[in-house]
Structure 1
Amino acid sequence: MKKRIGLLYGGKSAEHEVSLSTARAVTGALNFEEYEVYPIFITPEGEWRRGELLKKPASTIEELQFGDDVTILENNITDFLIDNNGKAIQFDVIFPLLHGTNGEDGTVQGLLEVLNLPYVGNGVLASSAGMDKVIMKQLFEIAGLPQVPYTYFIRSDWANEQEAIIARCEEKLDWPMFVKPANLGSSVGINKATNRDELVKAIEIALQYDRKIVVEQGIVAREVELAVLGNDFPEVSVPGEIKPVTEFYDYDSKYKDGSTALIIPAELPVNTVSGLQDLAKRAFKAIDGSGLVRADFFVTADNSIYINEVNTMPGFTPVSMYPLLWQHTNVSYPELIDRLITLAIERFEEKQQLHYKKD
């Protein structure tokens, strides 16, 4: 029998458009002879809508946003489990293709856990830790992973202790500094600061996206990424290097202007590659990852390695770094999707063996 897949995408997030591109790409790679595919769209306002069973890949993003003749699930989002005839839809797995807040951060994962549904990707802990750059960095520190210096604060600290925060940044870090919202991806809200005025401006911009802000030491280094796939015994891809034309790998260079060169595999010494692969695996385990993670690193001229971050739901179109890394490691895009679905079901079945009451 065909496996019944619920594609969950869109979302109330600054990365809503990225999610739509991912969903369209995944529908193009799924084998409709093996899967029944139900589209579940979350609008930018947070309204849930379930479309009819897909018969073929979506040819445009607009197809995945539906019209007015769909089931609108505004009162009870769990209605996506019920078909239009009032019968339960027995999903074999939910495939969350949500990037950023309200999707990649553990919130939707928590809902799916409570509903006892198998789902692709990282669980609640890994998703939330992977979204919050401060918690992530603290876990990496405990795991002994090398990182660039950083500091952080919250909105109320900035409102009451602005001069003290600037002084702390200058004491702990050297110019340039990078200012980031702690809970966002796709380089949204990130800016480089080379002096106090730019630092203040960058912080004010970042505070539009999150209440917690990270300020990191700038570093002259190559940006190298690796893909991790698996559950308890993860595999790691070849490394790929990002060479943006802009000063850093921002939102536009990732998704809009096509100005960034992706070099796969990255030209690195064998020992550096093995070191990166080991650190990627350790980072995956540090957050208790499952399914997929993209691990991002800095590599300096003397081949010193610093972990930047992990992304628990990386860009997932065929031209995104995560699938491209696996393509160059002999795993095709359709095969990658199949493996992620299998990993999700395996993890769910393992959880069903747990005892929830005392014998």
Structure 2
Amino acid sequence: MKILVLYNVARDLGVGVASDIICEQEIEIIVPLVEELLLARGYEVETIETTQNLWNNMVSRIGTFDLALNMAESFGGGNTDEPLVPAMLEALRIPFTGASSLNMQLTLDKEKSKLVCQGYGIPVTPYQRFDSPDDPLQSNISFPAIAKPIRQEGSIGIYADCVVKNEAEMRAKVAHIISNYFQPAIVESFIVGREISVGVIGNGANLIVFPPLEFQFPDTHDDLLKIRSFEYKWGGQTEKMVKADLPSSVVEKLVSFTKTAFRATECRDYARMDFRITPDGEIYLLEVNYNPGIGPNSHGLNNTLTKMASFTGRGFEDLIEEIILIAASREKLI
């Protein structure tokens, strides 16, 4: 099977603050590792950057490969417009791994994905969308709260000071988000408790849910700092990813919520759901993550789904190949 690996290197920021560019650079480490492992496993491989010439590049290659491994997290050398990549592949009838353009558009929007998941019976954090920092505060929001860009992923725009303790702090942070990320903010009541993530691979009735993973933050005793902020994910602060020690009843609920969210938001091939769990065992869905990072946990990298897969004996190489085979089966290539 010949695999075309698609990736994007962000050299300019379309939205955000200067520090956000840090998270866009790891792909330059991951793609050569993916190419190497696929060649070692007998695949033919070509890699293409998703530049502004992507459409013409893809048209010229139709029929020269079997499946695109879509690792692009943006388009055209910036850090935006990720859904354009699967949209082009769909328009050209090119089989590819991971999220469709519909799934991306839905799950990129934290409000829309919460509405869908809530409609399927999954508890979500109390939230409010802010199109302006002057929007009236709804009664469902309590403090402390956390303010986030509504359409960013990978902890982008989520810094430690996004946890706000009062309305004045909240409105200042909302104003910052709107002016720097050019999108609404979403404000959620802060859930004190454990940060849990659950990964899943497969499609339809054939979903494999990995054991839940917990993010731990050994550098702080402050509950309000125990979030997977930009500082932890990209800024060098110490976090630990461990197999979550949870009661079986809680794990069963997490597995059920994860499968339901995967299907309700029309995820494909692989995804990851992030939750908070209170000390009383109440579970709240934070968000649905399509195409979560599938790089190794070596070379200075830190990839959650790969870590979860390791709980089941799967290595980085195994996970990549399994995702390819899952997508190939969905596309009826095998």
Q: TM-score, normalised by structure 2?
A: 0.84
Taking the aligned partners of 1:18 and 1:187, their CA distance within structure 2 comes to: 15
Q: Does 1:309 align with 2:287?
A: yes
Contact 1:22 1:315 in 2 (8 A): no
Partner of 2:177: 206
Residue 252 of structure 2 aligns to which amino acid in structure 1?
S
Query: For structure 2, which runs of at least 5 residues remain unmatched after alignment?
Result: 14-19, 298-302
Query: For structure 1, which runs of at least 5 residues remain unmatched after alignment?
Result: 49-72, 351-359
**Could you say if the C-alpha distance between residues 31 and 324 of structure 1 is closer, same or farther in structure 2, counting changes exceeding 3 Å?**
farther
Partner of 1:65: none
* CA-based RMSD: 2.2
Taking the aligned partners of 2:325 and 2:80, their CA distance within structure 1 comes to: 25
Q: Does 1:243 align with 2:195?
A: no
Partner of 1:108: 85
Q: 2:24 aligns with which of 6, 10, 16?
A: 16
Q: 1:93 aligns with which of 49, 60, 67?
A: 67
Q: Does 1:150 align with 2:127?
A: yes
Partner of 1:69: none
Q: Does 1:283 align with 2:256?
A: no
- Measure how far apart 1:9 and its partner are: 2.9
What is the percent sequence identity of the aligned residues? 25
Partner of 2:16: none
Q: 135-144 or 195-204, which moves further after superposition?
A: 195-204
Partner of 2:331: 348
Q: Does 1:125 align with 2:102?
A: yes
Partner of 1:357: none
- Measure how far apart 1:30 and its partner are: 2.4
Residue 31 of structure 2 aligns to which amino acid in structure 1?
A
Taking the aligned partners of 1:210 and 1:346, their CA distance within structure 2 comes to: 39
Taking the aligned partners of 2:38 and 2:176, their CA distance within structure 1 comes to: 39
Partner of 2:157: 189
Residue 57 of structure 2 aligns to which amino acid in structure 1?
D
| Cα deviation 1:279-326 (Å, max 9, x = unaligned) | 111110110111110111111111111111111021222121101101
Q: 1:217 aligns with which of 189, 195, 203?
A: 189
Partner of 2:200: 228
Taking the aligned partners of 2:286 and 2:307, their CA distance within structure 1 comes to: 20
Query: Alignment partner of 1:134: what SS?
Result: helix
Contact 2:293 2:304 in 1 (8 A): yes
Partner of 1:259: 238
Partner of 1:322: 305
Taking the aligned partners of 2:43 and 2:81, their CA distance within structure 1 comes to: 23
Contact 1:19 1:99 in 2 (8 A): no
Q: Does 1:29 align with 2:44?
A: no
Taking the aligned partners of 1:90 and 1:175, their CA distance within structure 2 comes to: 56
Query: Alignment partner of 1:82: what SS?
Result: helix
Taking the aligned partners of 1:131 and 1:35, their CA distance within structure 2 comes to: 32
Contact 1:18 1:99 in 2 (8 A): no
**Could you say if the C-alpha distance between residues 210 and 175 of structure 1 is closer, same or farther in structure 2, counting changes exceeding 3 Å?**
same
Q: Does 1:179 align with 2:147?
A: yes
- Measure how far apart 1:197 and its partner are: 2.9
- Measure how far apart 1:18 and its partner are: 4.2
Q: 1:168 aligns with which of 130, 137, 155?
A: 137
**Could you say if the C-alpha distance between residues 93 and 258 of structure 1 is closer, same or farther in structure 2, counting changes exceeding 3 Å?**
farther
1:53-72 matched pairs, under 5 angstroms: none
Contact 2:3 2:69 in 1 (8 A): no
Taking the aligned partners of 1:148 and 1:4, their CA distance within structure 2 comes to: 40
| Cα deviation 1:215-257 (Å, max 9, x = unaligned) | 1010111000111100112110001100134612112311341
Taking the aligned partners of 1:152 and 1:289, their CA distance within structure 2 comes to: 24
Residue 139 of structure 1 aligns to which amino acid in structure 2?
V
**Could you say if the C-alpha distance between residues 24 and 243 of structure 1 is closer, same or farther in structure 2, counting changes exceeding 3 Å?**
farther
Contact 2:39 2:45 in 1 (8 A): no
Contact 1:3 1:34 in 2 (8 A): no
Taking the aligned partners of 2:65 and 2:253, their CA distance within structure 1 comes to: 40
Q: How many aligned residue pairs are there?
A: 304
The structure number with the bigger radius of gyration is 1
Q: 208-217 or 220-229, which moves further after superposition?
A: 208-217
Residue 262 of structure 1 aligns to which amino acid in structure 2?
M
Contact 2:141 2:189 in 1 (8 A): yes
Q: 275-284 or 207-216, which moves further after superposition?
A: 207-216
Query: Alignment partner of 2:98: what SS?
Result: coil
Q: TM-score, normalised by structure 1?
A: 0.78
Query: Alignment partner of 1:234: what SS?
Result: strand
Residue 183 of structure 2 aligns to which amino acid in structure 1?
R
